[in-house]
Amino acid sequence: MIVFKTFGLCTLFGLTTAQIQQNIQNSLSVHDEEPLLRGLKLGELNFIHTTDTHGWYGSHKAQSDYDADWGDFISFIQHFRNNRIHGNKLIKRDLLVIDTGDKHDGNGLTDATSPNGLEANEIFNSLDYDLLTLGNHELYSAERAVFEYYTTAMSYRFKDKYISSNVNFITATGDEVPFGNKWRYFVTPYTRHRILALSFIFNFKTPNSRAKVTPLVEEIKKEWFLQLINKYPSNKIDVLLVFGHLSATDPVEHEINYLYDVLRSFYPDTVIQFFGGHSHIRDFVKFDDRSTCLQSGRFSDTVGFISINNIKSKHSEPIFFRRYLDFNKRSFKFHAKTKHLSTKVGNYVSSKINVLRTILDLDHQYGIVPQTYYMMARPLDSESNIYYLFKSEILLSLNSSITDPAIGRMIMINTGAIRYDLYKGPFTKDSEYIVLPFENTWNYMILPLKIASRIEEFLNEYPYVMKMLSPPEVFQNNILIKKNEIDCPVVDKPDLSEGYTTVDDFGCDGDDTPHNTQILYNVPNVIQSNQLVSTNPDSLIHFIFVSFLTDDILQAVNSIGSDISPGFQNYTSVDVNIYGGQSAKQLLREYIIQISQTQDK
Ligand SMILES: *[C@@H]1O[C@H](CO)[C@@H](O)[C@H](O)[C@H]1NC(C)=O
Ligand SMILES: *[C@@H]1O[C@H](CO)[C@@H](O)[C@H](O)[C@H]1NC(C)=O
Ligand SMILES: [Zn+2]
Ligand SMILES: [Zn+2]
């Protein structure tokens, strides 16, 4: 295993530590007392990777660690290309910029327009990606599939660069065509590496009437794939590039591992570089000495970088170098070696974002959030946990014509409905799209307390974890899935900001910015609030839940029922009724407005 413990700069130029520090200081504004950033080491082939942006093109207004917007990112790539990749005319290098999908849901820039992403897509597409593909969020509806296909996959700019090896688009006349290209073969312009690129999405089972996903296990048995491998045997390619919307670490389905095994059997010695996504983590996996996978965070909080050297060498193994960059202007300036980040195109895109924010009224303020509420970074019983806030305050304010104070009730929500931490500061229209992007309605059942009181535990038992993945990422974003063979110290330096301290197959130093470790806690599938008037196990209560959970609730109720009383008569959808009342989104808004008024007094 190759672990780069020193700064990339050091290995590159052989500078002393003092000189490096001087360089770093010079590249930062004079008065900032910044922690030293870890540099990156360039190679013959260099890759910049984004994934799961989910519409976050306008930066993270409440988190200074992620203060760059999409225009800044475009500027960064321009400078990086000029100053780093082609900075030394004597050294030939190539840079490929890749995205692995999920561009909708989670930010007002995408979600406040119809179709979702109508304007934001244009912003995303202003970046000159070399390779791009789709994620499951591009397939949530027929409208989205059609939109993605015509605005991006078939666009003038990307029609050669858009790849999806196992997704087909269904045309208006019902014909099935590849969603972009099934593969792409090309030679890099400077270092003349011959690359065969493929892109697979995980086995996403609910596509729409205008798209079809074939599990990769089946797709790679098809004729076109076998022909492709015949056309490009290992002596005709230098790098097999496999990017797509699937997790680098997949302890349940192992799809990427299966793909790796099959590809390795066809290409025993070829460098196979994977790029992954979907599970919203920073991750780097080493499959063997010639194959690795990089996954680059979520919500435009991360730019992933990897370089590969010695690709064609017959005598030595390739050298991989990975780095996760915090998505902020400081990191961008530092790595691109520039004092002034903005470029003409970058500025233009930033101003487009700001105009769009204004048109969509995303900064419209409903109130003030007094403190930050975290999803996973605080324990579930902490007053700084957002689920605790929902449990102890927000859900209890649900009220409809069914509400009867004389009848006890339980109100349940799936934790996946909440998508992001709620940050201290202005609570805006955008905050709503960020924290609770999905609308919901409430259903209820009249149940004896002895059954109702066991539903939460039933749904939080392990086998349900995988079934209830909607949205999927929240549950997989779970530190427990990572095998953690490498022991990395928990960083406890309160003067550093709380953030990523990633553990991956190359060790503990992948992040460019040293952070205070943000410890993540397990989140259950569901949480609930209780308002009981009786503890009699046979008393009937209103069991209220987001309608999305209906099938799971019925299954839970019937399993529990038949477990505790023989001859139990199963409940059916006839026993499920509409409760009405405010959506979770409205409840949160009302709560913030109410506490903002009390703060004013
Ligand atoms: C609850 O809603 C009902 C109508 O749906 C209304 O009559 C009642 O005043 C509401 N109660 C509260 C406390 O808001
Ligand atoms: C009742 O529901 C349980 C749990 O879903 C199921 O296993 C069982 O087969 C059902 N019984 C009948 C008679 O439908
Ligand atoms: Zn995603
Ligand atoms: Zn996804």
CATH number at residue 407: 3.90.780.10
User: For residue range 142-172, what is the model confidence (pLDDT) as tens digits?
Assistant: 999 999 999 999 999 999 999 999 999 999 9
Same structural domain, 112 and 42: yes
C-beta of residue 342 within 8 angstroms of C-beta of residue 332: no
Considering 309, 342, 375, which residue would you say is the last residue of a domain?
Answer: 342
Residue owning tokens 């030394």: 88
Q: What is the separation, in whole angstroms, between the first and last Cα of the chain?
A: 60
Closest by alpha carbon to 366, among 590, 96, 60? 590
Q: Is the pLDDT of residue 535 over 60?
A: yes
pLDDT top residue among 8 and 209: 209
pLDDT at 463: 58
Distance CA 539, CA 531 (A): 13
Same structural domain, 305 and 211: yes
- Adjacent-strand bridge partners of 94: 45
- Adjacent-strand bridge partners of 241: 197, 273
Burial class of residue 223, CB neighbours in 10 A (0-12, 13-18, 19+): exposed
Q: Which residues contact 457 (CB under 8 A, 6 or more apart)?
A: none
Q: Is the pLDDT of residue 108 over 70?
A: yes
- Mean pLDDT of the region 217-233: 97
- Mean pLDDT of the region 323-338: 98
C-beta of residue 305 within 8 angstroms of C-beta of residue 37: no
pLDDT at 413: 96
Q: Is the pLDDT of residue 501 over 80?
A: yes
Considering 291, 310, 342, which residue would you say is the last residue of a domain?
Answer: 342
C-beta of residue 187 within 8 angstroms of C-beta of residue 195: yes
Q: Is the pLDDT of residue 21 over 70?
A: no
C-beta of residue 420 within 8 angstroms of C-beta of residue 438: no
Give a yes or no: residue 509 inside a domain. no
pLDDT at 322: 98
Same structural domain, 444 and 336: no
Residue 399, ligand 1, Cβ within 6 A: yes
Same structural domain, 156 and 207: yes
- Adjacent-strand bridge partners of 385: 374
Angle at 30 between CA 27 and CA 34, to 5 degrees: 75
Give 387 Cα–ligand 2 centroid separation in angstroms: 32
| Dihedral sign for Cα atoms in the order 392, 398, 404, 408 | negative
pLDDT at 122: 97
Q: Is the pLDDT of residue 11 over 50?
A: no
Same structural domain, 246 and 144: yes
Nearest residue by C-alpha to atom 10 in ligand 1: 399
Q: Is the pLDDT of residue 252 over 90?
A: no
Same structural domain, 291 and 415: no
Residue 401, ligand 1, Cβ within 6 A: yes
Give a yes or no: residue 491 inside a domain. no
- Residue 544 structure tokens: 């209220």
Give a yes or no: residue 477 inside a domain. no
Nearest residue by C-alpha to atom 12 in ligand 1: 399
Instruction: Write a three-state SS string for 293-321.
Output: EEEECCCCCEEEEEEEECCCCCCCCCEEE
Distance CA 386, CA 480 (A): 21
Instruction: Write a three-state SS string for 358-405.
Output: HHCCCCCEEEEECCCEECCCCCCCCCCEHHHHHHHHHHHHCCCCCCCC
- Mean pLDDT of the region 378-382: 95
Q: What are phi and psi of 169, to 5 degrees?
A: -100, 145
Q: What are phi and psi of 124, to 5 degrees?
A: -55, -45
Distance CA 12, CA 440 (A): 54
Same structural domain, 255 and 293: yes
Distance CA 367, CA 482 (A): 38
Same structural domain, 337 and 381: no
- For helices 70-79 and 329-336, the axis angle rounded to 10 degrees is 10
Strands 45-50 and 302-309: antiparallel
Give a yes or no: residue 476 inside a domain. no
Count H helices, E strands: the chain?
19, 22
Give 399 Cα–ligand 1 centroid separation in angstroms: 6
Strands 409-414 and 540-546: parallel
Q: Is the pLDDT of residue 364 over 50?
A: yes
Residue 555, ligand 2, Cβ within 6 A: yes
Give 467 Cα–ligand 2 centroid separation in angstroms: 18
Q: Report the domain count for the chain.
A: 2
pLDDT at 152: 98
Residue 203, ligand 1, Cβ within 6 A: no
Give 253 Cα–ligand 4 centroid separation in angstroms: 15
Distance CA 245, CA 204 (A): 10
Residue 441, ligand 2, Cβ within 6 A: no
Rg over alpha carbons for the chain, rounded to the nearest Å, is 25
pLDDT at 35: 54
Instruction: Ligand 2 pocket test: pick from 454, 562, 563 the residue with the most ligand atoms within 8 Å of its Cβ.
Output: 562
Q: Is the pLDDT of residue 22 over 50?
A: no
Same structural domain, 319 and 173: yes
Band the pLDDT of 474: cuts 50, 70, 90: very low
Q: Is the pLDDT of residue 468 over 70?
A: no
- Residue 581 lies in domain: 365-470+517-600
Which numbered atom of ligand 1 lies nearest the CA of 401? Answer: 5
Same structural domain, 85 and 194: yes
Q: What are phi and psi of 459, to 5 degrees?
A: -75, -20
- For helices 70-79 and 344-359, the axis angle rounded to 10 degrees is 170
- Residue 237 structure tokens: 């390619």
pLDDT at 1: 31
Band the pLDDT of 598: cuts 50, 70, 90: confident
Residue 209, ligand 2, Cβ within 6 A: no
Distance CA 228, CA 112 (A): 42
Give 524 Cα–ligand 2 centroid separation in angstroms: 25
CATH code of the domain containing 117: 3.60.21.10
Which numbered atom of ligand 1 lies nearest the CA of 403? Answer: 1
pLDDT at 485: 57
pLDDT at 470: 39
Band the pLDDT of 461: cuts 50, 70, 90: confident
Band the pLDDT of 506: cuts 50, 70, 90: very high
Give a yes or no: residue 173 inside a domain. yes
Diameter over CA atoms, the chain? 82
pLDDT at 344: 98
Give a yes or no: residue 482 inside a domain. no
Distance CA 589, CA 138 (A): 28
Give a yes or no: residue 25 inside a domain. yes
- Residue 594: nearest ligand to its CA? 1
Q: Is the pLDDT of residue 8 over 60?
A: no
Distance CA 265, CA 21 (A): 46
C-beta of residue 257 within 8 angstroms of C-beta of residue 13: no
- Adjacent-strand bridge partners of 480: none
Cis peptide upstream of residue 471 (ω within 30 degrees of 0): yes
Residue 403, ligand 1, Cβ within 6 A: yes
Considering 308, 342, 376, which residue would you say is the last residue of a domain?
Answer: 342
Same structural domain, 411 and 301: no
pLDDT top residue among 345 and 10: 345
- Residue 401: nearest ligand to its CA? 1
pLDDT top residue among 467 and 389: 389
Band the pLDDT of 2: cuts 50, 70, 90: very low
Give 57 Cα–ligand 3 centroid separation in angstroms: 14
CB atoms within 10 A of CB 538: 8
Distance CA 243, CA 239 (A): 12
Mean pLDDT, the chain, rounded, equals 90
pLDDT top residue among 482 and 57: 57
- Residue 395 structure tokens: 């859900």
Q: Is the pLDDT of residue 29 over 60?
A: no
- Residue 319 structure tokens: 């050298």
In this prediction the pTM is: 0.89
Angle at 573 between CA 569 and CA 576, to 5 degrees: 100
C-beta of residue 400 within 8 angstroms of C-beta of residue 579: yes
Same structural domain, 323 and 423: no
Instruction: Lay out the sheet containing 176-178: strands in order across.
Output: 176-178, 167-170, 211-213
Give a yes or no: residue 147 inside a domain. yes
